[in-house]
Structure 1
Amino acid sequence: MGEFDLIARYFQRPVRRAVLGVGDDCALLAPAPGMQLAVSSDMLVEGRHFLPTVQPEALGHKALAVNLSDLAACGAQPLAFTLALALPRVDEDWLAGFSRGLLALADAHGCELVGGDTTAGPLNICITVFGEVPAGQALLRSGARAGDDIYVSGTVGDARLALEAFRGTLSLPAEVFAAARQRMERPTPRVALGLALRGVASSAIDVSDGLLGDLMHVLRASGVGARVEASVAPELIAASAYVSSARGQFDPETLATCVFAGGDDYELAFTAPPAARDAVQAAARDAGTRATRIGVVEAQPGLRLVDGAGHALDLRRLHGFDHFA
């Protein structure tokens, strides 16, 4: 099968919202009047971002999900995306599963595949996604203000829990591992929540490299600091029932690492003024998820993780993931 046959069979589809899609030198997008384009790119590399054992359908889902998560953090509505795909060989069963997972999520969010590239090489997936947001209404990292509440959506830490099980550093009951693996391999982009938080949240970021590490990006961009309550850790991880019953194996340090530094969660961390607490919870309910208040923005720069007595904890082991650190 040649390159263009591969594209036509697995990735070429009629467009509905774009002006021009796959098959020309450029795609053409036409944002609605008064809207701004939101654009983000993410690359997934085998052995770095995903394990070789991942099912192709799950990988197709995740490849687009991590990009939709960036749009969610901006409060943008998905429009379209491009796909650059390097393949070590043409495997039709793999391509069928990958494209099925990719396009099912795309259809769920009305996000059209409008172009890209294919080449031979080590497995590498790069997606650029396009969304639109009303001018002046995008959620930014730079809007947090002293006194704002800090929230995180859904649950965090389960993807890292699955990774530790894959690494063999801990053993999980089959049902706990299956649920954690689902969170690792098929994350849910919080697009609906991002849209609902426009005009409510003061800042936002998606949690891809660890909750505290990503929150630090918001604090630096906003010129503020924060206090985060360590006591929220058990309620933030979906495997909380197992965590509470496995103290000998799943110690507090491992729990903190999974929740605060785990990454690969693709939830939203965001800030909002205290007066918006009801609006935040209404937005979360409407989006079919939850929003947990985990701390407060402070004027003093830096991030402090504190215990129940207000004592600062050591953050050196809880920094976010950095590819080149």
Structure 2
Amino acid sequence: MLYVEILGNLPEMARDEVKAMLELGGGEIIGQDYLFLKVDAGEKAFPFLDRLGLAHEYGLLLVEADSVEELLQKAGEVEWPIKGAFKVDTETMANCRHDVLDLPRKLGAVIHAQGFRVNLSKPDTVVRVYCGERLYAGIRLRYFDPKDFEKRKAHHRPFFRPISLHPRVSRALVNLTKATREILDPFMGAGGILIEAGLLGLRVYGVDIRPEMVEGAETNLKHYGVRDYTLKLGDATRLEDLFPDKKFEAVATDPPYGTAATLAGRKRDELYRKALRSIYNVLEDGGRLAIAFPTDFNGKAEAEAVGFRTLGRYYQRVHKSLERYFYVFEK
């Protein structure tokens, strides 16, 4: 049994990202306690869970309990697969209903009694306790360091444009498509989505109508070590002309929503509608599209009119002048 701790800024999107990766890795979510997901999966799922963007960590789930006393009793009966020295960390979630103030010391003593060494400053193994409606204890397998994503934020890239998705969100969009081979971004801009996809080992394809963006995206991809890419100068509403003999496994993109200049002089809603149809035409049957639209554009209705099936919709308020939905569609 595994656990995944998801982030709280887009929790429904984060949960569905985990679900998508488990569908690839052979597993399923069997319970949720606030931001704590209980997962039925084995080692086959690890490479896919390692891809997560909207997650804090994942690990082995070893103990569940309804009280501190029950947790400590069960912990004494478990064979802890600890390597080297360990420490206990407690995560007190917003819905925690137990007194866990002294729990790290008490649980540490139970595990120490099994012959394991404690090292609070440089542990080899981190034992994690989560307090929500219930109590959970396990061993962290992977921590998603925020610094890894921070260094890929827009202002750290050699080609800088201020309007860009957070790298965690870009990665989640890629994962929600369930891509395993390749991905297309027809509004690639500075290449943020392509960077995340490329770092996951996918072949990436990008299109932008502005020459400076094509050149800048290539600079950014090279900077982060992405080499397997094809970038084209062109129109996102005419993808069939750019890729006449190609059907894509998946598409993830964040279309422009701002001024007429960023929309190449075209009306926004018209651009979105034509792009949706063109994306549909170059997507494989069963392929997925992950895309963002402002809330005043009915993305669900427009995509379904083209032929897409809606799989998910997630709200995000960016600032007072921009509210949007992230959508996942399937052809």
What is the TM-score of this pair, normalised by structure 1? 0.26
More strand by share: 2
Higher normalized contact order (CA 8 Å, seq sep 6+, divided by chain length): 1
What is the TM-score of this pair, normalised by structure 2? 0.26
More helix by share: 1
Larger Rg: 2
